[in-house]
Structure 1
Amino acid sequence: MNHLHIINGDATLNGFNQTGLDGDVLVWREVFSEGPLAVTLDAEFWSKRAEFVAQTFKDAPGNYQEMILQELEKLSEPYDDITLWFEFDLHCQVNLLGIMQLLQQHVDLSVPQIYLVCPDDFPDVTNFKGMGQLNGEQLESLYDNRLHLTDYDFTLATEAWQKYITGNVHELQQWIDENPFWGSMHLLKPALQAHVKRLQQNEDGLGYIEQKLLQLYKNGISSRAAVFEAFSNELPIYGMGDAEVDAYLNRLINKGLIALE
């Protein structure tokens, strides 16, 4: 059988390479929790994403082709089963929604079986933040308990994706409240609720993330490295890497609200 493992980010790759699991690996390096999205993931969509990533994260434009688009070419190969390795946080859950849209739009899903590995904790691992903390043996144990994604899960993912990309906080919250069953997407609801909170602004026009970062700064945390660590520990539900937090910090700097060391 031909197997494909789609892993969210390079952090998990080292541990995964220690496993005895067969198959090809596609490393998903996009950050769909930030920037422009669309219903259809076509050539125009990827062009806009490449531009956004290069500008926001100060990355060379050519890197997007190599690090992201070339990886996606693996989806053109025939596979008997595909396992998605994504975590509980908003960063991972939105990426998961995106890859499920991509699979529906570009892969004949009548052929491969699709599975999900999606932990929000692990025995004896304190302050669990992601599968990058796990070794090969631990990752194999997660694989043994992977969830089979059904048509319902893909329908749910499509609805969630469409609600997410509109950016309408009231419509998204209503959809969350009215959805009675989350299938195998059992960690999607808390991630989307965190996104609803993120969309709301205070009287100064600051979103929830900016408010939290400003609070950390006012509490005396004034170096970027210290802010990165404090934010990650306080709000792991967002799953934001340093580059993502940095983009929010730069907005606060440009508004004259903080001045980091």
Structure 2
Amino acid sequence: MSNILHILNGDATLGGFEQTGLEGNVMVWREALSEGPVSKNVSSADFWEKRSEFICKAFDETPEHYHDRMIVHLEKLNEPYHEINLWFEYDLHCQINLLGAMMLLEQQTNLSAPAIYLICPAEFPGIENFGGMGELNGGQLEYLYDTIRVQLGKYDFTLATQAWNLYVSHNAEALKVWLDETLFWGNLHQLKLAMQAHLKRLQVNENGLNYIHQKLLDIYKSGITNKHEIYSAFWQTEKIYGMGDSELDIYLSYLAHRGYILER
């Protein structure tokens, strides 16, 4: 068994990663913790039961498929690695998944054993409108590993725990205070922007709509009513959320249910 584990942010990165010469076992984090029920104890059976229920309902998944693609792989974290590398990006989707992975490691791993590193690119040299690590080949991923990889320390895990606890609390005021008062972000360089984006989801306007609902509604009202064109228009300005079609559909369905739009 290798002494190194790489946790990848999704299947899009796996193809490129398999082209690298990097040693180690691989675990793909196939979750979307930025949507649906979450709680403080990520290592509990109840946490993953609720996630399975949500994922199966929201994304037309089966419990067996979710179990095989996500739950089974969590067992890898019980193995005695000397080094764990977390490959996650800057957007809210990835940052919340990163927090979840860090909480799981902290709650069920002896952190004095493995060195834990983060590879978290917000851009890539020579690539305009960088869309994420799924665009990169093996050589480019090795470049990130060699140039931006940072070792996470005790402060980073303290900060991540604070962020996670605020995330699961759904308390906009407490999150705003924390964002205003936190002046040093350690090695979690992308966390502040992501949590600021999340704050905008917690705040609702007089119509009961949050920032994403209102943004999608404005796009719809501008005359863009085809779903895929709505996605594209949203992504042009809101890459920070890192949402795919299925996640945006949750918000569009809410707008349709409220009678704001006609779903197509």
TM-score range (shorter-chain normalised) is over 0.9
> Which residue of structure 2 lines up, in the alignment, with residue 21 of structure 1?
22
Counterpart amino acid of residue 240 in structure 1: M
> TM-score of the superposition, structure 1-length normalised?
0.97
Give the match's secondary structure for 1:6: strand
C-alpha contact (below 8 Å) 1:87/1:118 kept by paired residues: yes
Is 1:203 aligned to residue 206 of structure 2? Answer: yes
* Structure 1 counterpart of 2:156, from 153, 158, 162: 153
Distance of 1:232 and 1:97 partners within structure 2: 23
Give the match's secondary structure for 1:228: helix
Query: How many equivalent pairs are there?
Result: 261
CA offset digits 1:16-69 (Å, max 9, x no partner): 111111111100011111111111120011111110111111211222101110
Distance of 1:93 and 1:156 partners within structure 2: 13
Give the match's secondary structure for 1:55: helix
C-alpha contact (below 8 Å) 1:57/1:247 kept by paired residues: no
> Which residue of structure 1 lines up, in the alignment, with residue 262 of structure 2?
259
* Structure 2 counterpart of 1:75, from 55, 63, 77: 77
> Which residue of structure 2 lines up, in the alignment, with residue 140 of structure 1?
142
- Aligned pairs for 1:1-261 (under 5 A) are 2-41=3-42, 42-145=44-147, 146-261=149-264
Distance of 1:103 and 1:20 partners within structure 2: 25
**Structure 2 spans left out of the alignment, 5+ residues:** none
Give the match's secondary structure for 1:120: coil
C-alpha contact (below 8 Å) 1:7/1:27 kept by paired residues: yes
Deviation at 1:260, TM superposition (A): 3.6
Identity between Structure 1 and Structure 2 (%): 56
Give the match's secondary structure for 1:84: strand
Distance of 2:9 and 2:171 partners within structure 1: 26
Give the match's secondary structure for 1:119: coil
What is the root-mean-square deviation in Å for CA atoms of aligned residues?
1.0
Distance of 1:78 and 1:230 partners within structure 2: 45
Distance of 2:54 and 2:259 partners within structure 1: 24
Distance of 1:45 and 1:182 partners within structure 2: 27
Give the match's secondary structure for 1:257: coil
Give the match's secondary structure for 1:87: coil
CA offset digits 1:49-92 (Å, max 9, x no partner): 11011111121122210111011111111111000000000111
Deviation at 1:184, TM superposition (A): 0.2
Deviation at 1:241, TM superposition (A): 1.0
Distance of 1:148 and 1:107 partners within structure 2: 16
C-alpha contact (below 8 Å) 2:253/2:263 kept by paired residues: no
Deviation at 1:223, TM superposition (A): 1.4
Counterpart amino acid of residue 190 in structure 1: L
Q: Which runs of 4+ in 1 moved over 3 A?
A: none
CA offset digits 1:186-224 (Å, max 9, x no partner): 110011001111111111111111101111111121111
